[in-house]
Amino acid sequence: MGGARAASGFTSKLPAIYPHNAAAMSLTSSEIARIANLARLDLQPAESERMLGQINAFFDIVTQISQVDTSGVLPMAHPLDAMPTMPPIHLRLRPDLASEPNDREANQRSAPAVERGLFLVPKVIE
Amino acid sequence: MSAKLVQGYEVVIGFETHAQLSTQSKIFSRAPTAFGAEPNTQACAVDLALPGTLPVMNLGAVERAIELGLALGSHIAERSVFARKNYFYPDLPKGYQISQFEIPVVQGGEVAFMLGDEKKTVRLVRAHLEEDAGKSLHEDSSLGGGGQSGIDLNRAGTPLLEIVTEPDMRSSDEAVAYAKKLHEIVTWIGICDGNMQEGSFRCDANVSVRKPGAALGTRREIKNLNSFKFMQQAIDYEVRWQIEEIEDGREIQQATVLFNPDTGETRAMRTKEDAADYRYFPDPDLPPLVIGRDWVERVRAEMVELPWVMAARFCADYGLPEYDAATLTQSMAMAAYFEATAKACGQPKLASNWIMGEVSRRLNSGELAFAQLPVSSTQLAALIGRIADGTISNNAAKQVFDALWSDGDEVDAIIDAKGLRQMNDSSALEAIIDEVLAANAKNVEEFKAGNAKAFNALVGQAMKASKGKANPAQVNDMLKQKLG
Amino acid sequence: MTELHHLGVAELAALLQTKQVSAVEVATRFLARTGGNPHNAFLDIDSEVTLAQARASDAKLANGSAGPLEGVPIAHKDVFVTKDLVTTAGSRMLNGYRSPFDATVVARLRQAGMVTLGKLNCDEFAMGSSNENSAFGPVTNPWNTAHVPGGSSGGSAAAVAARLTPAATGTDTGGSIRQPAAFCGITGIKPTYGRASRYGMVAYASSLDQAGPMAHSAEDCALLLSAMCGPDLDRDSTSLDVAAEDFSAGLGHSLKGLRVGVPQEFFGEGLAADVRSAIDASLAQLQAQGATLVPIALPRTELSIPVYYIIAPAEASSNLSRFDGVKFGHRAADFADLTDMYKKTRAEGFGQEVKRRIMTGAYVLSHGYYDAYYLQAQKIRRMIADDFQSAFAQCDVIAGPVAPTTAWKLGDKADDPVASYLADIFTLPASLAGLPCMSLPVGLGDGGMPVGLQLIGNYLQEAKLLNVAHQYQLATDHHKQQAGAAA
């Protein structure tokens, strides 16, 4: 994990080095390229163009959420959080037992490239 | 903190250690975690990220996190959250690692250890649970007809505790001492098998340099150090390299580096663009982990006695000096061996001497673990008993020990077989001493003239005359008495 | 006797239990109906597999160990993985994929005795509202084949409406069961989040996805839902630890005294006149059956669109990272190195809508945008859930339209994804809150296209919803109307 770390308590905010830029909602082509790289998607130039337009149109609808006053509201990562009739849902823990059998053949039957049980990929350069 | 400057620069080091937890099954699946299986025979559907699979948390992994937190005096979070760390790599089947980001399970804490005579404390920032990735095998150039790497996902999903320190260390010595202490702790409490060759305990060192009083320098991260020797070498090289760069007027760029044990050098990895944009967000497949205080107390009550608590007890109950107690509590096995021996023979200091001395020496030179020790605590206790009751001398005891080590058998039987019984009969001894004094008049004169060495010569003669069976302490006393 | 394919689940189950027909006969009849793949509803059929299951069911019926739905056919939306049939999730990325395990929902329905007819077409990775995003061609609406069936469970809705199968499984993330059910004139229900196991459902948006049945009646849906739901504690950490329920038990309660909340935000300008007219008539019908209409407010209805379209793509962008050409699925044929392999594989394997959502998802989670988008959206989500709780203080169920219009023509919204998103406005709020909700047919709009009424219940109130729908269906016959193309 990169970035400066505060030794004092933990809050729900990201480290201060990340810019907080709610106003910049219109993507540029270079940002499209950056996101496409992050998501490992090869976009053709025409595709990229079209996507830029469509995603910016999408962000036009989305900007309205910045107007909403959410101070004091806890984020809801699971709908289970909001069910008033039930006790708060928390992570179930299973006993530490290794019960999955070796099913390699079935698990690998849709693999694009396998040799001696290994999945093959183009050489990884560190 | 006493900083040891290198070429006038202060060295600043922080560690991130990945300790594989000693659970039977993986952190989020029920596949086994045993080392060394055939490729992908311990990677179930969940581990392979097959469509539709979901994670289910292993209780044993959480319990081990609690144990670590208790051992290090950390705060165990009542509520912690699992987050997805998103990036692409062939050994990461889901394209994200389930880890903890904003709210880790263990917060704060510290590791204390001796560096020479100085007591050091390294503060922990946090420790969090996460899953290990699989392995890429590059060496076999025949794979796939060449130019391919083979991916084995057996290791994917093995539970890890990532233990992160503040940048509190100021030398490679201190860093290695920290790492050794942490290694000792995790193996002592039994949460990790500590097998560094198998990758159970891997350290990343964040290293930077600065002129004393200046702001923190840019750090570089040396990844995957899996031996203490390499840790030392890598950090030393990296420090010298960084200083040289700065002295040559170049700025240090933040980078991840690998240590090459063959060349002894660190080298920056290919820079990964956007490497830091992991797009962390709370994993929607896993509700928050809640750890009630009663669970923590239960774990605390059932935990093994921690090494420093045991060391304090050894000082108090057995009257051992701090140094002995600290040395004997380096491993659970050694401490247990000591205690069994001490209880059996009632001679704790002698037991400590023998274990820190002869026993450790042989284990180290033979590269043996305590479990492989051929001399049991009962046998050692018996041997110590025979020294304490004067049956044999220290020298003779060494011979007995030799025999115990290579042949086994009972202490008394060896003593008798080798005829090592000390002479304790005073009158017989007196007779020998009188003979020696008579035969070595010159030495007697020299001693009386003030030559202390002459005394030793007389002791030597007496021992020789008794064929080594005399009790040296008795010989000493008697000679002193007779010589006045 | 009525043609087998005109019968619903309950009726078929009864005929099978009383041995008036065999499972093999039923299966054969429906397999014949799928010949030529009408409406492009199916993606995989294997008659060997189906008939083998039917024979096994017949054996159970013979020796008295039959399950409640023994021998009744069902087809599965192609996002449920199956061992014996291919799973594609409507995507080229998974072309030919064979799962080593069955989804829990599939296994439970099989345990209840149901016979798998095949896998159904859907929008790629469940992303879409018209089934035009499938890599294997669009599905057509049996009421008018120039129109979309709705999505993403378009194949499921069309197959049931065209009577190619008496029942189908669907999944609903933002409306993908309710909306196609409405567009195709059938009944479908999405249970409370966590009621049905997600294990074996190709994940789209983890905190929203839910499996549910689609069939001709609430009575049928109740039978199916009972078999599908129940805790899956060993495999799904978000599965609710709530005892399995018999949702058919309370179907008979009268509607007297029922308070039906009608949200004013669902009846604004954007609601088409023909839809409004059918909805109004259905609400009047409920009143006639003893219910009272209560005006309620769901003030953040409009906000549900941006909130959903931030959260769902964010989760999807991460869930779809596993499709990398390494362990399963499509891999590009030509690439220069590892990174190139990833990029080409994913570019080739994913369709346009999926790529768009992966991109927006990655963006809202990335550096500096997380707080303003994702976190803010999760906060508004809680406010939306709280709004429902306020509403339920005044009513027992909430009723309103499923969609602003009836099914549009194929191609109408294809180049305008945002227009598609806006049409989800009525189904998104209940999805975000995780509430159970359903759609039932309440008449036809312009051009004879079906209109669906949406019912939303409070958490764990599926039985109540099905009760209301069933009582309505006892008094009306919209659910018995036949799609024009389904003779």
pLDDT of residue B272: 55
Strand, helix or coil at C194? coil
Given an 8 Å threshold on Cβ–Cβ distance, is C362 in contact with B151?
no
Taking alpha carbons only, the member of B145, B65, B60, B46 closest to residue B107 is B65
Neighbours of chain B (3+ CB pairs under 8 A): A, C
pLDDT for residue A88 is more than 60: yes
Q: Which residues of B touch C (CB under 8 A)?
A: 45, 48-57, 84, 86, 88, 90, 93-96, 151, 153, 276-277, 279-281, 284-287
Chain C residue closest in CA terms to B47: C327
Instruction: Please check whether residue C372 touches A, CB under 8 A.
Output: yes
Would residue C209 count as lying in a domain? yes
Residue of higher predicted confidence among B423 and B161: B161
For the cut 90, the answer to whether the pLDDT of residue A10 exceeds it is no
Question: What pLDDT sits at residue C110?
Answer: 98
Q: Give the C-alpha separation, C42 to C48, whole Å.
A: 16
Residue with tokens 């750090």: B219
Give A59's pLDDT tier (boundaries 50, 70, 90): confident
**C108 or B482: which leads in pLDDT:** C108
A4 falls in which pLDDT band (50, 70, 90)?
very low
Q: CB within 8 A of B207, min separation 6: which ones?
A: B11, B12, B13, B219, B220, B221, B222, B235, B238, B239, B242
Please return the burial class of A18, using the count of CB atoms within 10 Å of its CB with bins 0-12, 13-18 and 19+.
Answer: middle
What value does the mean pLDDT take over residues B304-309?
94
Mean pLDDT of B234-243: 97
CB within 8 Å: C235 and B56: yes
The residues with which B162 forms a beta bridge, in sequence order, are B18, B128
Q: Which of C57, C91, C130, C152 is catalytic?
A: C152
Domain count, chain C: 1
Mutation to test the B interface, candidates A100, A109, A114, most B Cβ within 10 Å = A100
Q: Are C84 and C108 in contact (CB under 8 A)?
A: no
Q: Residues C148-178, buried b or exposed e (16+ Cβ, 10 A)?
A: bbbbbbbbbbbbbbbbbbbbbbbbbbbbbbb
How many CB atoms sit inside 10 A of residue B381's CB? 22
Q: Which of B194, B190, B202, B74 is nearest to B135 (CA)?
A: B202
Neighbours, chain C (3 or more CB pairs < 8 A): A, B
- Residue C430: inside a domain, yes or no? no
- Reference A67, options A4, A19, A23, A12; nearest CA is A23
Contact call for residues B18 and B192 (beta carbons, < 8 A): no
Mean pLDDT, all residues of chain C? 96
Scan for tokens 């099914």, then name that residue.
Answer: C407
Half-sphere CA count of B362, side-chain side, radius 13 A: 15
Q: Show the tokens assigned to B385.
A: 């008993």
B contacts of A80 (beta carbons < 8 Å): 287
Alpha helix (H) residue ranges in C84-153: 104-111
Q: Say which residues have a Cβ less than 8 Å from residue C275's Cβ, sequence separation at least 6.
A: C401, C403, C404, C405, C406, C445, C451
pLDDT category of residue C225 using cuts at 50, 70 and 90: very high
Distance in angstroms (rounded) separating the CA atoms of residues A92 and B114: 41
The secondary structure of residue C409, as a DSSP letter, is B
CB C241 within 8 A of CB C233: yes
Question: Distance (Å, rounded) from C-alpha C374 to C-alpha B412?
Answer: 77
CB proximity under 8 Å: A 40-99 to B: 40, 77-78, 80, 89-99
Residues C411-440 have a mean pLDDT of 92
Fold of A21-67: Histone, subunit A (1.10.20)
Active site residue C413: no
User: What mean pLDDT comes out for the span C390-402?
Assistant: 98
Preferred mutation among A118, A123, A124, A126 to probe B, highest tally of B CBs within 10 A: A118
Of C480 and B456, the one with more pLDDT: C480
C380 touches chain A (CB under 8 A): yes
Local confidence band at C451 (pLDDT 50, 70, 90 cut-offs): very high
Whether the per-residue pLDDT at A1 is higher than 50: the answer is no
**Rounded Cα–Cα distance for residues C361 and C347 (Å):** 16
Residue C164 placed within a domain: yes
Q: Which domain holds residue C203?
A: 4-257
Mean of the pLDDT values across residues B330-344?
A: 93
Phi first, then psi: what are they for C83, rounded to 5°? -70, -40
Q: What dihedral do alpha carbons C111, C112, C116, C120 form, nearest 10°?
A: -110
Q: Are B81 and B54 in contact (CB under 8 A)?
A: no
pLDDT of residue A85: 66
Q: What is the pLDDT of residue C326?
A: 97
The CATH number of residue C150's host domain is 3.90.1300.10
DSSP track, C54-75: HHHHHHHHHHT---TTTT-EEE
Q: Known catalytic residue: C277?
A: no
The yes-or-no verdict on residue B424 having pLDDT over 90 is: no
For residue C99, the chain B residues in CB contact (below 8 A) are 50-52
Compute CA distances C153 → B151, C90, C124, C138, C149, whole Å. 36, 10, 10, 11, 9
> Would you kindly state where each structural domain of chain B is located, as residue ranges?
10-296, 305-418, 426-483
Mutate to test the interface with C, among B47, B50, B81 (most CBs of C within 10 A): B50
Put simply, whether C376 touches B (Cβ < 8 Å) is no
Burial of B143 (0-12, 13-18, 19+ CB in 10 A): buried
The minimum CA-CA distance between C183 and chain B, rounded to whole Å, is 28
Whole-angstrom distance, CA of residue B333 vs CA of residue B268: 40
**CATH architecture under which domain B426-483 falls:** Orthogonal Bundle (1.10)
Give contacts of C 188-207 with B, CB under 8 A.
Answer: 198-203, 205-207
Residue B108's Cβ-side half-sphere holds a number of Cα atoms within 13 Å equal to 9
**Is B287 in contact with A122 (Cβ distance < 8 A)?**
no
Residue B273 pLDDT: 52
C251, C219 Cβ separation under 8 angstroms = yes
Whole-angstrom Cα distance, residue B422 to residue B471? 6
Domain definitions of chain A by residue range: 21-67
pLDDT (tens digit per residue) in B211-229: 999 999 999 999 999 899 9
What was the pLDDT predicted at B271?
A: 62
Compute the half-sphere exposure of residue C314: CA atoms within 13 Å on the CB side of its CA.
Answer: 31
pLDDT tier for residue C17 given thresholds of 50, 70 and 90: very high
Contact A121/B143, CB-based, under 8 Å?
no
Instruction: State the pLDDT at residue A3.
Output: 31
How far is A47 from chain B, CA to nearest CA, in Å? 22
Residue B178: pLDDT above 60?
A: yes
CA separation for the pair C427, C179 (Å, rounded): 8
The answer to whether residue C22 sits within a structural domain is yes
pLDDT at A5 over 60: no
Cross-chain Cβ contact C433/A124 below 8 Å: no
- Say yes or no for a CB contact (<8 Å) between C460 and A85: yes
Strand-strand pairing, A93-94 and B57-58: parallel
> Of B48, B56, B280, which has the smallest distance from its Cβ to C327's Cβ?
B48
Is residue C340 within a helix (H) or strand (E), and if so which, with residue range?
Answer: helix C338-349
Contacts of residue C366, defined as CB under 8 A and 6 or more positions apart, other chains included, come to A35, A38, B277, B279
The pLDDT of C163-188, averaged and rounded, is 98
Report the pLDDT averaged over residues C426-441: 97
* Tokens linked to A8: 């004092």
Rounded (10°) CA dihedral C118, C122, C127, C132: 160
DSSP class per residue in B116-154: TTEEEEEEEEEEEEEE---EEE---TTGGGTTEEEEE-S
Taking the C-alpha atoms of residue C390 and residue B145, their distance in angstroms, rounded to an integer, is: 66
Looking at residues B277-299, what average pLDDT do you find? 96
The token duo for B466 is: 């008794």
Of residues C119 and A58, the one with the higher pLDDT is C119
The full DSSP string for B18-48 is: EEE---SB-SSS--B--TTPSTTSS--TTTT
Closest of B71, B116, B126, B108 to residue B308, by C-alpha: B71
Q: Which of C176, C248, C304, C431 is catalytic?
A: C176
Q: How confident is the model at residue A12 (pLDDT cuts 50, 70, 90)?
A: very low
* pLDDT for the residue B142: 82
Is C400 part of any domain?
Answer: no
Total-model pTM: 0.90
High-pLDDT (> 70) share of chain C, %:
99
pLDDT value of position A25: 57
CA distances B333 to A107, B368, B450, C29, Å, are 42, 12, 50, 73
State how far the Cα of A44 lies from the Cα of A33, in Å rounded to an integer.
10
- Average pLDDT in the C145-151 region? 97
Is residue C465 classed exposed, middle or buried when 0-12, 13-18 and 19+ CB atoms within 10 A define those classes?
A: buried
The alpha carbon of residue B279 is apart from the nearest alpha carbon of chain C, in Å, by 5
Report the DSSP beta bridge partners of residue A121.
B149
**C-alpha to C-alpha distance for B451 and B441, rounded to whole angstroms:** 14
Q: Across the interface, do B54 and C103 touch by the CB < 8 Å criterion? A: no
pLDDT in tens, C317-340: 999 999 999 999 999 999 999 999
